[in-house]
Chain A
Amino acid sequence: MDYIFHLTTLSSIFAILAIGLNLVMGYTGLLSVAHAAFYGIGAYASAILMRSQGMNFFVAMGLGVLLSMGVALLIGLVLSRFDGDYYALASLGFNVIVFGIMLNWEELTRGPLGIPGIGKPKLGDHTIFSNMEYFFFTLFFLIIIYLLARLITRSSFGRTLKGIREDETALQVFGYKTVYFKLAVFVIAAGMAAVAGSLYGSYITYIDPKTFIVMESIMIISMIILGGLANNRGAVIGATFFVLLPELLRFAGFPPDIAAHMRQIVYGVLLILLMMYRPQGLFGEYKL
């Protein structure tokens, strides 16, 4: 049972990541390969603040979110000039750069050693410790993020994002400064990723740069493509599937090291098949 809560907690964390990226990729049509960077910035910022400043989890998370959004604003100023393949490549570049900083700024991040002993959140005097409690704690954040995303995608702003996805040039001729919209959604998504990062660090109690590599960004992209682009529910379903898939493979009798590779193979083949036969994903409302 404890293990089930472990899996659902991880699913919820990835669901938060997927919902955020879906705003950028599914709704706005921008293939950002930098999402893991903001996940990492949130995780590192709150871990460092909690450990060295003894800060409360919520304050640390809040500051992590602000930092992540601030960095996203700077990166977004550059990124928002691009679209298509170039957006993908430039954002991937930023993920590599942020990863490089996590790995090499050892005074701050302890480099490849990572940060162990990250504290758990406290509600009053109560520490959220058991897997079950942590799951409900994470679920609470997932629900907030989900509702927030729903609000955004149903607003006029969300409609404009879709317009950018469909034809940015035409939309500009109708008077939109699309750069601001692209920037805003990128910053919002980065904030959501930072929430997931704080939750992850505090849950596992240990983080290192390897968790936030480009491959992780690609995994999150795969989740939303599978679940469905421009559909918030699809993002949650995709994330859950991706967390449960290795477990299914283990139940099917594959030893863990083989299961890890099998999982990647299944991801890869799924991406190919989806692109060939169902480019909007399982529940998606937008075809790439």
Chain B
Amino acid sequence: MDFVVQLTINSIIAGSIYTLMALGFNLTYGATKFFNLAHGVMATIAGYTVFYFSSQPLYISIPAGIFAAGLVGYVLDRTIYSPLRKRKASNMVLLVASLGVFTALESLIALKFSSQHQSLPEIFASVPTFNLFGGSFTAIHLLIVASAAVCALGLHALLKYTLFGKAINAVSDDEEVSKIVGINTNRLMGQVFFVGSAIAGVAGILVGFDTVIIPIMGMPLLLKGIIAAIIGGLGSLWGGVLGAFLLGFVENFGIWHISGEWKDVIAFGLLILFLIFRPQGILKKS
């Protein structure tokens, strides 16, 4: 029984991390309609920025990390994705270009900080541990779940109640029409990339506090985010959240009787089942 509780707790923690990755991915996908494979490396950048500012207090290094991820996302859009879009490049071209960005940035980080893993400074003097119905979790885990909730609700509010959000929705529906009604789509896309990448940065930093940071952490995080986004319904905010938690639960309960090494196999098995039987995801975006 305790075991079931622990697996449930683990599923919720994993689901929260995947939520953070899916939120940003869905946001940029919704606006641009291409699979941005460089999204994962934004998490890595944020983690390493916090590491770089280790000597600074956390209230400086953490915002710096999130800002760095957002800034890199913004610059990538301005310098690479936006010129390609203007040239009406196919989605495949954008996907391959983002793959190049991913490869280059990941190796750049490894070059600067070595390919070994690193630890972030302690966020709590001694990490408090909690017990609930026989399962245990740490304060960092609590922070992960809270951050996912705050980011999801915040993004929801941003999209629903601000002019910025309404513009994004308009662009997601039809970029051409939005241009005609006077939305500066170029500037907007840059902002979308900033926000999306910054949320991925939050995920990277939290993973770093929970475990370690390592240059190759981006790809697995991205893939889980994409799987969550697809099984939830691409481009839908709450669909992505739902997908993230479904993925977290299936992954963690799937390895109940077998070794944990099979986790990735289970995750992609789930993706392929969805692609075959319900390619539009759980929540179809109308």
Interface residues of A (CB under 8 A from B): 31, 78, 81-82, 84-86, 88-90, 92-94, 96-97, 100-101, 103-104, 214, 218, 221-222, 225, 258, 261-265, 267-272, 274-276, 279, 288
Stretch at the interface among B58-66, B95-103, B141-149, B184-192: B95-103
Q: How far is the CB of A81 from chain B (nearest CB, A)?
A: 7
> Would you mind naming 23 contact pairs between A and B with Cβ atoms under 8 Å apart?
A31-B92, A31-B95, A84-B91, A84-B92, A86-B279, A89-B271, A94-B272, A100-B261, A104-B259, A218-B99, A218-B103, A221-B99, A222-B103, A258-B111, A262-B107, A264-B106, A265-B107, A268-B99, A268-B104, A271-B100, A272-B80, A272-B100, A276-B84
Q: What are the residues of chain B within 8 A of A93 when measuring CB–CB?
A: 268-269, 271-272
Q: Once the chains bind, are B95 and A101 in contact (CB under 8 Å)?
A: no
Q: Once the chains bind, are A89 and B261 in contact (CB under 8 Å)?
A: no
Q: Once the chains bind, are A89 and B111 in contact (CB under 8 Å)?
A: no
Per the bound structure, the CA–CA distance linking A49 and B185 in Å amounts to 59
Knowing A89-B230, A97-B268, A275-B96 are in contact, say whether A268-B103 is a contact too (CB < 8 A).
yes
Q: What are the residues of chain B within 8 A of A78 when measuring CB–CB?
A: 272, 275-276
Secondary structure at the A interface, as helix, strand, loop or mixed, is helix
Q: Tell me the nearest residue of chain A to B107, going by C-beta.
A: A264
Q: B176 interface residue, CB < 8 Å from A? A: no
Q: How far is the CB of B185 from chain A (nearest CB, A)?
A: 20
Q: B154 interface residue, CB < 8 Å from A? A: no
Q: Once the chains bind, are A90 and B101 in contact (CB under 8 Å)?
A: no
Secondary structure at the B interface, as helix, strand, loop or mixed, is helix
Pick from A103, A267, A270, A288: contact of B261, CB below 8 A.
Answer: A103
Per the bound structure, the CA–CA distance linking A259 and B128 in Å amounts to 43
Q: What are the residues of chain B within 8 A of A92 when measuring CB–CB?
A: 223, 268
In B99-141, the 8 Å CB interface with A consists of 99-108, 110-111, 115
Q: Once the chains bind, are B265 and A100 in contact (CB under 8 Å)?
A: yes
Q: B52 interface residue, CB < 8 Å from A? A: no
Q: How far is the CB of B68 from chain A (nearest CB, A)?
A: 19
B91, B99, B101, B106 — most chain A CB neighbours (10 Å): B99
Q: A90-B271, A262-B111, A288-B90 are in contact. List 11 more A-B contacts (CB 8 A).
A: A84-B91, A93-B268, A261-B107, A261-B111, A262-B107, A265-B111, A268-B105, A272-B101, A275-B84, A275-B97, A288-B96
Q: Tell me the nearest residue of chain B to A269, going by C-beta.
A: B104
Q: Once the chains bind, are A288 and B93 in contact (CB under 8 Å)?
A: yes
Pick from B100, B272, B279: contact of A268, CB below 8 A.
Answer: B100
Q: How far is the CB of B283 from chain A (nearest CB, A)?
A: 18
Per the bound structure, the CA–CA distance linking A31 and B272 in Å amounts to 16
Q: Once the chains bind, are B100 and A267 in contact (CB under 8 Å)?
A: yes
Q: Tell me the nearest residue of chain B to A29, going by C-beta.
A: B92
Q: Once the chains bind, are A225 and B111 in contact (CB under 8 Å)?
A: no
Q: B22 interface residue, CB < 8 Å from A? A: no
Per the bound structure, the CA–CA distance linking A173 and B238 in Å amounts to 38
Per the bound structure, the CA–CA distance linking A261 and B115 in Å amounts to 9
Interface string of B186-202 (1 = CB under 8 A from A): 00000000000000000
Q: Tell me the nearest residue of chain B to A103, going by C-beta.
A: B261
Per the bound structure, the CA–CA distance linking A92 and B223 in Å amounts to 10
Count residues on chain B whose CB falls below 8 Å from chain A CBs: 44
Q: How far is the CB of A285 from chain B (nearest CB, A)?
A: 16
Q: What are the residues of chain B within 8 A of A268 when measuring CB–CB?
A: 99-105, 107
Per the bound structure, the CA–CA distance linking A94 and B101 in Å amounts to 23
Q: How far is the CB of A218 from chain B (nearest CB, A)?
A: 7
Knowing A262-B111, A279-B89 are in contact, say whether A272-B269 is a contact too (CB < 8 A).
no
Q: B262 interface residue, CB < 8 Å from A? A: yes
In B216-253, the 8 Å CB interface with A consists of 219, 223, 226, 230
Q: B264 interface residue, CB < 8 Å from A? A: yes
Q: B164 interface residue, CB < 8 Å from A? A: no
Pick from A86, A89, A104, A275: contact of B100, CB below 8 A.
Answer: A275
Per the bound structure, the CA–CA distance linking A89 and B230 in Å amounts to 10
Q: Tell me the nearest residue of chain A to B106, going by C-beta.
A: A264
Q: B53 interface residue, CB < 8 Å from A? A: no
Per the bound structure, the CA–CA distance linking A218 and B216 in Å amounts to 15
The list of the 5 closest CB pairs from A to B, nearest first, reads: A268-B104, A271-B100, A268-B103, A264-B107, A93-B268
Knowing A101-B265, A288-B92, A288-B96 are in contact, say whether A86-B107 is a contact too (CB < 8 A).
no
Q: What are the residues of chain A within 8 A of B103 when measuring CB–CB?
A: 218, 222, 264-265, 267-268, 271
